[in-house]
Each structure stands twice: as structure tokens, then as C-alpha cells.
Copies of this chain bind each other. A is one copy, B any other.
Amino acid sequence: MKLPQGFTASGVASGLKPSGNLDVALLVSDRAATAAGVFTTNRVQAAPVQLTRRHIRRGTARAIVANAGNAKACTGKQGYADAKAMAAQTARALGMTKENVLVNSTGIIGMPLEMEKVANGIADATARLSPDGADDFARAIMTTDTRPKTADATVAGARIVGFAKGAGMIAPEMATLLAFVVTDAPVERALLVDALNETTGRTFNSISVDGCRSTNDTLLVLANGAAGGAPIGLDHEQAGAFREALDEVCASLARQIVEDGEGATKVVSIVVEGATNVREARRAAATVADSVLLRCALNGADPNWGRVLAALGTSGIPFDPNIVDVWLGGQLLCEKGAVGPGDPAKARAALLDRDVEIRIAMKRGDATATVLTNDLSAEYVRINAEYTT
């Protein structure tokens, strides 16, 4: 994967991960880039999230530095001091002011960060910056991910490249994910912010692995304009094309996160139709996606549509259960709230596939939304029972 023009990246092993894998990642623009971000809605926000929120308020940035293996969350004043030190060290190494550096951390919560390792990692990562560093960068932000996650798109002579990590603690309100998208398109801040917020709802906020919202979720976008051309603002003729390309990259990354869901054997699309508005549709789909019981049934390819309806009933939406239809694996197993004409054996066969669809018709309005989730497996439990041991 080649980076857009004007960007270099690297990923190095500093020793934070006991495995010795890459764990410090750096991504740098050779000029000031327009910047926008979306952050976790958790009341508990990790130190780097607090710092990066502050830095990105300026509207421009030049560097993204990230460490895996330690989330620097719940580490009190020391955690915030450490995040500031990471920004300062990176800025010094790159010859820029520290406000240009966006700091990110992922990994275990509540443990002090070994700052000497991080400092050496930052120096090493700076020395290795390269236009070909995308793959190392993608690997260095991984935690329980089994594979790196990248996506790219082109728009009007410019390119968009995205990176993400995340496999557990993934919920609709931003997940334990870090995602970074960089482009050499000359996008103005107003468009960047608006396009990012819009695409987040449809992509990163429409996935759920376990309904748990983390303390570190961060999605950052940098646009450095190195591809040249006139600035693309909200009313520019290329604005729509940029929005689409950004959506394509974010949708791909979001899907890859679900595909790599901890212990998961399936990618499940929960499609809700006939809601009164998109917000309601997404809420309905997310409530169904978060049902532990349903996700166990899917693990066993059990076409248990009753669990779909029971979960929907806890969404807080005042729908009429007696008119709802539910399809599992293409079979209409529930019609008007009772058993439908679909074939449970065919549904079971369809649920054995890796890609599974549950479709719910609420018949209240015209809005539709899709939330992606996984099945819940014994392997997920094993991974998360043994995380810190």
C-alpha cells in the first residue's frame, strides 16, 4: 500500500508488546494538513484522547504517533504527563511544535507506560519514516487483531488511505478502535469535519463486536493537499466525490474490524427497515446486535428468531410486535410477530455461511440502517478471560 503524496510512515518494535512485534507507529505529513477527529463517548477517556482532542482543535496537524500494548487510560496525572511527553518527543524528533502531533494509545488499561521504551521507539520510528511505511504502520497499531487493516480509494487525482485496528470492545458508539485516514486531496476543514461525522454514523458507529465502548476510540483524518489543485470546500463540485471516497475507505475498515472480531466465525448484517428515521433504525439494529443470547444462537447457526424479537423489544422503541417481520438467512421465519412461512432448515443452512443477514421490517416508516456484528463464540470468552495473564 503506497501512501498519498507528502506522507511518510513507519512502525517499529520498542518492546512494549511482550511478543516483540511492532508497537510504535508514526505517520507524518511534510506540510500542515487539515485535521478532523471523532472520539469515544465513554465518560472515562484515556489521557492521549484528552490531549489529542485539545491539539486537533487548531484544525491542522502534521503527525500521528501511536503505541500499542498500553492504552494509557486510567493512569491519572502521570498518564496525561506521559501523553504530553510522547507529543513533545515526537515533535522534537520531527522538528515541529508539539501541537502538530496527535497522540494515540491502545492496549491494556491502567498500567503505567514504560516511557523509555516509547522514547526509543519514537526516535527509531522517525529514522525509519518512508513513503513505503504504510504496512509497518498498520502492523504497529494492532493489539488482538489477527491481521492489519488498510483501505484506499482515489478521488479526482488524489488518494485516500486508511488504517484501523480493533477486534474487541467494539460498540456502535465508537469502538476500541484506532483509525487514521490520510489524503493528499486539498480538502477544506469544513468539508473534512462534515464528511467525517456523516461517514462515521454509517461506518464505524454501525458496527458492534461486544457492545463495550472503550476509553481510547479515536478516528483521525488528515488532508495535506499535496496532490495539488484548488481547495475542496463544502460547495466544491468534487465535495460529493470526496465524501463517497472517504465513505468507501471507512466502510471497508469498519467491515474489516468486524471480520476480525475476536473469536468470531461470522459477519452478521442486521438490517432494519421501516423505522421512522435513521437514528431509530440504527438503534434497533444495534440493540439486536448487542444481544448476547442472539449472538450465541448465531454461533450455533440456530435460526432462533424469537431472540431477535425479544432483543428488539428492549430497544425502547414503541413498535407494534404484532406487525413485525423477521428474515434469517433469507427465510421469513417471523411474520407479523408470529411464526412465518419460511423454512427453518434452509435458514439454518444459510446461517452456516460466513456472511449472514438478519432483516427486520418494523413497518413504522421508511428509514433503514444496517449494523454489522459477529457471532459470540467460546473462543471470544477464552481470549478475553486471559487478556492480562
Contacts and interface: CB of A to CB of B under 8 A. Distances in A.
A389 interface: yes
A387 B43 CA distance: 37
A387 B302 contact: yes
Interface stretch (A7-15, A94-102, A209-217, A250-258): A209-217
A45 B42 CA distance: 32
Given A309-B109, A338-B75, A212 B293 contact: yes
Contact of A304 (B214, B321, B322, B387): B387
A381 interface: yes
A376 B385 CA distance: 9
Contacts of A319: 43
A231 interface: no
B110 A297 contact: no
A366 to B, nearest CB: 21
A169 B300 contact: no
Nearest to A322: B76
A318 B389 CA distance: 32
Contacts of A386: 300, 302
Interface residues of A, number: 73
A230 interface: no
Most chain B CB within 10 A, of A77, A306, A317, is at A306
Contact of A43 (B111, B318, B378, B389): B318
Contacts of A110: 305-306, 309, 333-334, 338-339
14 contacts: A44-B310, A44-B313, A45-B313, A73-B310, A74-B305, A111-B339, A173-B314, A292-B292, A292-B376, A296-B381, A296-B383, A297-B387, A300-B386, A378-B379
A299 interface: yes
B212 A310 contact: yes
Interface in A299-343: 299-300, 302-307, 309-315, 317-319, 321-322, 333-334, 336-339
A382 interface: yes
The 8 A-B residue pairs with the shortest CB-CB distance in the complex, in nearest-first order: A109-B306, A300-B385, A76-B338, A296-B384, A44-B313, A378-B378, A43-B313, A42-B313
A112 interface: yes
Given A43-B312, A336-B76, A381 B381 contact: yes
Interface in A332-380: 333-334, 336-339, 376-380
Given A44-B312, A381-B378, A210 B292 contact: yes
Contacts of A313: 42-45, 213, 215
Given A109-B305, A302-B386, 15 more contacts: A42-B314, A44-B309, A73-B306, A73-B310, A110-B339, A211-B292, A212-B311, A215-B313, A292-B292, A297-B387, A300-B384, A300-B385, A300-B386, A302-B388, A381-B381
A74 B43 CA distance: 38
A48 interface: no
B387 A376 contact: no
